[in-house]
Structure 1
């Protein structure tokens, strides 16, 4: 039987293709899948669904559970128990994801089992309350504003005097703040509220279903993108589609970043395949969903410029690319804004300042400001705001310098430009306030199509776990619950180590240790016979 030993941790994916013996076994068993691993994740997802009825982003006035026999799940010890059970479900989901990752890295499974696993894990969460966030209630509140003639870029949902359930479930922080989302997304939210009305449960489910269009776009574009960028498709799908960031945050949340990412991945693919006008148009539409997509546009101009005949200078090719790009951007931007809002209303640009109200150490500059404030305040009584403001100003300056540098280094176009674009998106998520956990998917999804080293993927496992758990399932942050954060970091490091080596601390092996009179048996990996490599 072919060996299933994982490749050396520092080998990159080009060196991690399965051996001929592995491939022979895979082909012979191509009808099989890692059923137990997929089932483990599915059980975890179902547990998360059930526990979220008491511990998730529940409604203030729930017509189904609020006063029924299960209402105990939402109060006191019942809520604490629901939260603990939800974390158990999340642990099963992550455990299954890490196992799936080891199989993918060893070349023991192909793309199909990973996609099936991801879709199976997402399915129960389509009907769950919002997980680790309440943003979807803001989406519906702002869509209701547009539906009833209130400008979401001038008023918060509290200004509405209709649809009380929609309004009262918006987080207090966003009740009076203008919308930070693109006008096209508000049009989508308006259509959702027009269909679901005051029914918040239906509104959340319909929003999730619409956002799945972004997932469909990613599933279509990523296999083609991998061919250009040199990654391994099973690993890309494991990293971008099956990860807790996608399953829990973008689908379980849900978050409109998913819809933007679908347009972004298709746009990047179109640029690499020389459909440049389509690429600029698609990414501009993505910007009208989530403004962050605008970061990608300058990099796509370099891709276009480098696809022009090389007889001309780079400067001349750049101007030949940037001129039509600006024209396409202008037309799509103006038409999209007009169609969405009924006028050319740029108030949404000012709305981008609203998320800056969130201050926590997950955003690197804010964290540095808080650290200096804590040190100084230990000696002299001072206010925290000057420290945060100065640190954020320095962060903005560093971000601007980094973006300009990455854009200039991308001037040769091709894969280099796309890699620099992914780095720029990650930098915006980390340095521009605020940093919310799902923001890092902006860069991760594009970067997933490149070759990765195993040790770096282990880091992604740790980061993904931390970025889910630094918020409580209710949507409130846990960033200053230091004992909880310490536990999260410890669990995340264990998860990262588990990608490199099963059971890194020997916990399961010790539990399974045979009695003295028993013969030790060679432990076989769970899915040793099953998995087709379709690399």
Structure 2
């Protein structure tokens, strides 16, 4: 990967400064999160005690500001570290050390910018109580500790996740019982399995895809999408992308059976990982002695056999059925403009519907349908263009995963990690990385620290976009506002 020389104006010469800056930010996220994040209802420390003021009234306002201040420092440390990585001054180990220092505090923070983890625990409790988590929602539970922590929007919604995740959630609840605080901590620790898989897979993916390991590690492992959303959230996408990245690496290392089995485990956590499987079939086919369609059919038969065997075993172990398939689009109930088709529908409604007093729903429904057709076309086209196999098929799999994230009816910030877990191993140009920085930095803005949507608070969104652009430019142009050149008065 080409290196970018850091301009002379950049006085940062050691990775220790950015590491400390990001660590302070992470600690502030922890401290502010105790009051401003989505803490468990009835938490013994924060709900009714000498420091409970931090969660209510003016205390919550202050704690929320601390969360955002911490996030700004974390991103600032990340960008400064990125400049050193691009200049070739920092290797993989300092980046991993920084990522560890930024990640560990968030293991002990309440759920940040989401309440999804409480749904995870409720779904584990549902399965543990003998109900079918794919047909009933948390409201069937008799333990109110689970129900009252789930966001009201999702309290009647069955689980949209696969059998392996239900098995993991059951195990967590079996160990932690009705202690929601311990359940959240156990969920975060369980998610570290996905992080470990990413750390194992990333050097192998870089070797095949031609990227730069320090850059890939900085972008994926130390980036705010992983540190704040996947770990701080926490979100089960971390486990899914860990299996996806590791399985892809195994297929590229000429171990297709093991690779398909590992990716299947990812599908059994969250169905999104299935997008990569048809592309990995092309990789497998390209390595066979047969040629043309004969090789494809052999690889396809092998992949289907492995998938069925692994998925059936996990389903039996979890004690569930295939009802989750009908719930994979549960998130489409959400309407937000992060999804390109949804944004198009809302824009069209704003331009046309406002004049005639029309409802937004028909516009969004139509543009989402068009978006689905476009998504299918993109997926089929990328898959067909990947038919030569090899690393090109993996690159196109990453493109397909990004397309699923942005063209589906609903997009959430952490969905971008689906494609990023493979794309991080590409050979990135500095300007491309700057765009990735801007997008990553913005993706905390859509939600409050306690998980409520902010996307339609336009003043805040404009400010968030401006700050994200500043972060992006700062990666390739230190001190873009030229503050260091202003005379002191």
More deviation, 313-322/99-108: 313-322
Distance 2:355 2:5 in 1: 60
Q: Is the 8 A contact 2:205 2:425 kept in 1?
A: yes
User: 1:218 deviation in Å?
Assistant: 0.6
Q: CA deviation at 1:353?
A: 2.6
Q: Which structure is larger by alpha-carbon Rg, 1 or 2? A: 1
1:493 to 443, 466, 469: 469
Map 1:440-459 onto structure 2 (within 5 A).
440-459=416-435
Contact kept? 1:18, 1:108, Cα under 8 Å: no
Q: What does residue range 336-415 of structure 1 map to in structure 2 within 5 Å?
A: 336-341=314-319, 343=320, 345-415=321-391
In the alignment, is residue 316 of structure 1 matched against residue 294 of structure 2? Answer: yes
* Contact 1:122–1:247, Cα closer than 8 Å, also in 2: yes
**Is residue 178 from structure 1 mapped to residue 154 from structure 2 by the alignment?**
no
Question: 5 Å matches for 1:324-343?
Answer: 324-341=302-319, 343=320
Of 172, 178, 202, 1:222 maps to 202
2:464 & 2:142 partners in 1: Cα distance? 42
Aligned to 1:123: 104
RMSD of aligned alpha carbons: 1.5
Residue segments in structure 1 that go unaligned for 5+ positions in a row: 1-12, 20-31, 516-535
Report the more deviating stretch, 347-356 or 478-487: 347-356
Aligned partners of 1:254 and 1:366: how far apart in 2?
Answer: 25
1:276 aligns with 2:252: no
Q: Which residue of 2 is the match for residue 289 of structure 1?
A: 269
Distance in 2 between residues matched to 1:508 and 1:498, nearest whole Å: 14
The DSSP-based 3-state class of the residue aligned with 2:211 is coil
Where do residues 144-159 of structure 1 align in structure 2 (5 Å cutoff)? Answer: 144-159=125-140
Which whole-Å CA distance do the structure 1 matches of 2:429 and 2:4 have between them?
Answer: 13
Unaligned runs of 5+ in 2: 7-12
Q: What is the SS of the residue equivalent to 1:379?
A: helix
Once the two structures are superposed, residues 359-413 of structure 1 have per-residue CA deviations (whole angstroms, 9 ceiling, x without a partner) of: 1111111111111122223211222211111111101000000000000000011
User: Would you say 1:16 and 2:14 are equivalent positions?
Assistant: no
Q: Report the counterpart of residue 142 of structure 1 in structure 2.
A: 123
Contact 2:240 2:267 in 1 (8 A): yes
TM-score of the superposed pair, with normalisation by structure 1: 0.88
Alpha carbons 1:503, 1:509 under 8 Å: kept: no
Residue 73 (structure 1) shift: 1.8
The 3-state SS of whatever aligns with 2:443 is helix
The question of whether the paired residues in 1 share the 8 Å contact of 2:279 and 2:393 is answered with yes
User: In the alignment, is the contact (CA less than 8 A) between 1:362 and 1:436 conserved in 2?
Assistant: yes
Alignment pair present for 1:210 and 2:186? no
2: CA distance between counterparts of 1:380 and 1:285? 50
Q: After TM superposition, give the deviation of residue 514 of structure 1 in Å.
A: 5.9
Between the aligned partners of 1:480 and 1:219, the Cα distance in structure 2 is 37
Q: Is the 8 A contact 1:166 1:198 kept in 2?
A: yes
Distance 1:60 1:203 in 2: 13
Deviation at 1:216?
A: 0.6
Write the distance in 1 (CA, Å) between the matches of 2:488 and 2:459: 36
> Quick one: distance in 1 between partners of 2:381 and 2:296?
17
| Partner Cα distance (1:508, 1:436) in 2 | 37
Report what 2:43 is aligned to: 62
Q: Structure 1 stretches (4+) deviating beyond 6 angstroms?
A: none
The CA distance in 2 between the partners of 1:281 and 1:252, in whole Å, is 28
Counterpart Cα distance in 2 of 1:506 and 1:55: 34
Alignment length (residue pairs): 483
Show the counterpart of 2:479: 503
Q: How far does the alpha carbon of each residue in 1:91-124 deviate from its partner, in whole angstroms, 9 at most, with x for none?
A: 1100000000000000001000000000110011
Structure 1 pair 508/92, CA: closer, same or farther in 2 (3 Å)?
Answer: farther
